[in-house]
Amino acid sequence: MINKKRMLKTFLELVQIDSESRKEKKVADYIIKKIAKYKLPYKFDKSKKKTGSEIGNLIIYKKFSSKNKTIVLSSHMDTVVPGLGIKPIIKKNHIQSDENTILGADDKSGLAIILEIIETFAEKKIPHLNIEAAITTCEEIGLLGAKFLDYKLLKSKSGIVLDSTSPDRLVVKGPSSDYFTITVTGIEAHSGINPEKGISSIKVSAEIINKIKTGKIFKDTTLNIGKIKGGSAINIVPGKTEIQCEIRSHREKIINNILNKIKTDLMKIEKKYKKINKGFMITMKKERIYDSIDIPKNEMIIQRIIAAAKKNNFKTLPVETGGGADANFFVKNGINTVNLGTGMREFHTKKEKLILKEFYKAAEIVFDTLVDI
């Protein structure tokens, strides 16, 4: 039922619009212009005040009947870098960039699917569930658009985010994520004249890092030390160093246990160096990035998607992931939201591609999920 040729054209046009995070206005303008002939109501929320984007999140409403359930569809407008001047190249089975940039299938493949579904329902007058399309900003820099979305603008209790790999994967379970920063305040001294009077924050940081287990700690838990920043000059014993880390787990208790152990180790190290100089200090600051999701497999939206996939001779299975997506914030705000793949591969790299067969199949599955049987 969907128009594959039109959907592909939409995707190719979208990826050629520059929209690195916080610069999404041109994509929003494209979307509004594209749906103008259908005279669908839409709103921008006021999230830009908190995200720093040029615009707020865009919500488009495609209603069929007040008696029907309402489902939210969501994708994000922004891309990672390098995402300027993207030149898509069409191959036999996929689309790729010229490898000087990313492709932008993450997540303009999702946008193209949503727009095609809206256009098809608007043209064909087929009975369908009411649709709220929540098109977010700033997903790639901490899910900020979804975090600050005005959920009062939505009536949906179920939803589909289109922001994953293959449509055979329906993400229903995902971890919580915390960022935490360890700040080591050492004692500065001249490295050539009196280094013995200093305490190197970089050297102490190395001691701390050696005590932190990283990588896959358990099957459902990972920890990563992502950035280290410290020192003021080569000839000065460094006074301050920051260690920036992330922990993810499906189990909140595990996150707390690991962070508490790290805090205990930090206290022991701090105590050791305070004996040398009372000005030495170690602090740790934690920030919750997103909460976990765990949608019951008997949830209506899951059952409808699985049935729609079967209708299209495709097998879609509920899975868990170690990543986060806008779905995490939809769930936190009372909307049972799953994440369906669109055919993207190797995203966030210059080798990113979109598998066309899966791209079309994802659209067909979502379309049939929304048809009012």
* Predicted confidence (pLDDT) per residue in 11-24, tens digit: 999 999 999 999 99
Per-residue pLDDT tens over the stretch 48-106: 999 999 999 999 999 999 999 999 999 999 999 999 999 999 999 999 999 999 999 99
Domain range 4-174+292-370, its CATH number among 3.20.20.80, 1.10.3720.10, 3.40.630.10, 3.20.20.10? 3.40.630.10
CATH class of 179-287: alpha beta
Residue 373 has pLDDT above 80, yes or no: no
Question: What's the predicted TM-score (pTM) here?
Answer: 0.91
Helix (H, G, I), strand (E, B), or coil: what is residue 79? strand
Name the catalytic one among 139, 140, 163, 352. Answer: 139
- Mean of pLDDT values over 240-253: 97
Instruction: Please give the pLDDT value at position 326.
Output: 97
Q: Which residues pair with 58 in a beta bridge?
A: 44, 135
Q: Which two tokens stand for residue 127?
A: 């009975």
Please check whether residue 241 is in contact with residue 201, taking contact to mean a CB–CB distance below 8 angstroms. Answer: yes
Burial letters 317-334, b for 16+ CB under 10 A, else e: ebebbeebbbbbbbbbee
What whole-number distance in Å separates Cα of residue 181 and Cα of residue 160? 33
What whole-number distance in Å separates Cα of residue 293 and Cα of residue 82? 30
Per-residue pLDDT tens over the stretch 325-357: 999 999 999 999 999 999 999 999 999 999 999
Strand extents, DSSP E, the chain: 42-44, 58-62, 70-76, 89-90, 94-96, 130-136, 158-164, 169-174, 176-185, 189-190, 215-218, 221-230, 236-237, 240-249, 281-290, 293-294, 317-320, 336-341, 344-345, 353-355
Instruction: Please give the pLDDT value at position 1.
Output: 86
Instruction: Please give the pLDDT value at position 44.
Output: 98
CATH 3.40.630.10 residue window(s) in the chain:
4-174+292-370
| Single-letter amino acid code for the residue at 217 | I
Name the catalytic one among 78, 178, 364, 368. Answer: 78
CATH 3.30.70.360 residue window(s) in the chain:
179-287
The separation between CA 114 and the C-alpha centre of its own chain, rounded to angstroms, equals 17
Mean pLDDT for the chain overall: 97
Instruction: Please give the pLDDT value at position 187.
Output: 98
Instruction: Please give the pLDDT value at position 334.
Output: 97
Q: Which two tokens stand for residue 30?
A: 């494209």
Instruction: Please give the pLDDT value at position 125.
Output: 86
**DSSP H stretches of helix in 134-200:** 144-147
| Single-letter amino acid code for the residue at 358 | E
139 labelled catalytic: yes
What whole-number distance in Å separates Cα of residue 224 and Cα of residue 270? 22
Instruction: Please give the pLDDT value at position 231.
Output: 96
Burial class (CB in 10 A: 0-12, 13-18, 19+), 72: buried
Per-residue pLDDT tens over the stretch 196-246: 999 999 999 999 999 999 999 999 999 999 999 999 999 999 999 999 999
Please check whether residue 24 is in contact with residue 147, taking contact to mean a CB–CB distance below 8 angstroms. Answer: no
H or E, element range at 255: helix 252-274
